[in-house]
Amino acid sequence: MKLLAALVALLALAAPADARLRAEERRMVQTIEREESRSIALLERLVEQNSGTLNLPGVEAVGRMVGSELEPLGFEVRWVPLPETGRAGHLVATHRGNGRGKRMLLIAHLDTVFEPDSPFQAFVREGNRATGPGVGDDKGGIVVVVAALRAMHSAGTLRNADIMVVLTGDEERPGSPIGAARRDLIEAGRWADVALEFENLAVEDGRDFGTVARRSSTSWTLRTTGRTGHSSGVFNETLGYGAIYEMARILDAFRRELPEPNLTYNVGVIGGGTPASIDGQNLTVTASGKTNIVAETAIARGDLRTLSPEQDARVRARMQEIVARHLPQTGAELVFAEDGYPPMPPTEGNRAILARLNLVNHDLGLPEMPEYDPARRGAADSSFVAQDADVLAGLGAAGGLAHAPGEYVELDSIARSAKRAAILMSRLSRERRD
């Protein structure tokens, strides 16, 4: 009996990948392969429609295009306008299954960083690579979602699946207040058991990685003040050190005292003088002064990225402690923005979803996907649902140069990611809810 069991196990390992898949899973793979040209054509149409975040009609137009793909699959599609945030809105599509399997939330975004005045507008294909605005971030991810759902529909595995798709219209430049801008996504996360996010697939040295964690992204503004007067009196008891020295002290203390794993705190813009000010969009600092005048004001803006709520709270408190150690005759105030992205820490639940995906990889004959270093990824909408659902991110297409002219996607990665997603979602739909 032991010999027989060993032979069975050996044959299973030697069996071709197709033999490890259920019949309906093989049909999904075949559908995705058969419709590869259709998927690329859809990607081209989406990219050719400009949907820069501030191009509200363009964002909504892309939403209608995607909605027309989902409605024939049995999704109830609605557009959620968000005029109070200054943004176009979101697409929310719901497929009602039998209510017994895992509830799944699929997350991607309609907008890009390329507004209509950008010279980078066209979809261009050269062999297996296509370039274009948002081709990978995140229109490639949307196409992966559509391809996977079409495959599930064709194989009959979508019928009993409870799935909600939320495509935000302002991921690249969120509207304000953030509570209103992410209200529908957060509600969807509370409904879901599992959230799958289709931002760019992480690939290094030809190997695909799974994303189980993302860091936060919060901006901060630091203002320092000092007594102004003739520079001959700088450092004395009357004038003290001035605003620029106080700013330099604080930023250098951040550099020396704050470093720890998975933490970054960039300074993006700075200026100081007598006077100094920042514009209403918090983008441009204007300053003037003379070499013989002690600076009255200095302003700096930067961001903070952390991996967990605990790390975020601890680092913020430490930054405030550093700010409070004023040089003589100076003052300082550090203010954190309220519209940042929260962290998505690595949890056992997130890792369990990656483990399920790696079973899918095994059955497809694909290499295992290790965890990706969260310090190498940006923030994304999946963080807003991380406290309510198990999350696996970065399930979209593979490419590069995101947010820059020349952004590209490797076209064969669309089918690869869609196969994984279709099989994973089909299997999750059969898992009983806790």
Q: What pTM was estimated for this model as a whole? A: 0.90
pLDDT of 266 reads: 97
Radius of gyration of the chain (CA): 25
pLDDT of 115 reads: 97
Q: CATH class for domain 218-336?
A: alpha beta
pLDDT, tens digit, 9 for 90 and up, residues 101-128: 999 999 999 999 999 999 999 999 999 9
**Average pLDDT in the chain:** 95
Q: Which two tokens stand for residue 305?
A: 């990225």
> 338 Cβ partners below 8 Å, 6+ apart?
177, 178
pLDDT of 434 reads: 78
Rounded to the nearest 10 degrees, how much is the dihedral formed by the CA atoms of 123, 129, 135, 141?
Answer: 140
Domain 16-214+342-428 of CATH type 3.30.70.360: no
pLDDT, tens digit, 9 for 90 and up, residues 335-361: 999 889 999 999 999 999 999 999 999
Mean pLDDT for 75-88 is: 98
HSE-up of residue 24 (Cα within 13 Å, Cβ side): 17
> Residue 167's closest CA among 220, 54, 88?
88
pLDDT of 127 reads: 97
Report the C-alpha gap between 188 and 163 in whole angstroms. 10
Report the C-alpha gap between 318 and 311 in whole angstroms. 10
Domain residues of the chain, as ranges?
16-214+342-428, 218-336
The percentage of the chain sitting over the pLDDT mark of 70, rounded to a whole number, equals: 96
Q: 3-class DSSP state for residue 88?
A: strand
Q: Which two tokens stand for residue 250?
A: 């604080």
> 364 Cβ partners below 8 Å, 6+ apart?
17, 21, 29, 419, 420, 423
Mean pLDDT for 179-196 is: 98
Range in 4-13, 67-76, 258-267, 377-386 the model is least confident about: 4-13
Neighbours of 236 (CB within 10 A): 12
Report the C-alpha gap between 384 and 190 in whole angstroms. 10
Instruction: Say how many residues make up the chain.
Output: 434
Instruction: Report helix angle 412-428 to 36-48, nearest 10.
Output: 110
Report the C-alpha gap between 109 and 392 in whole angstroms. 16
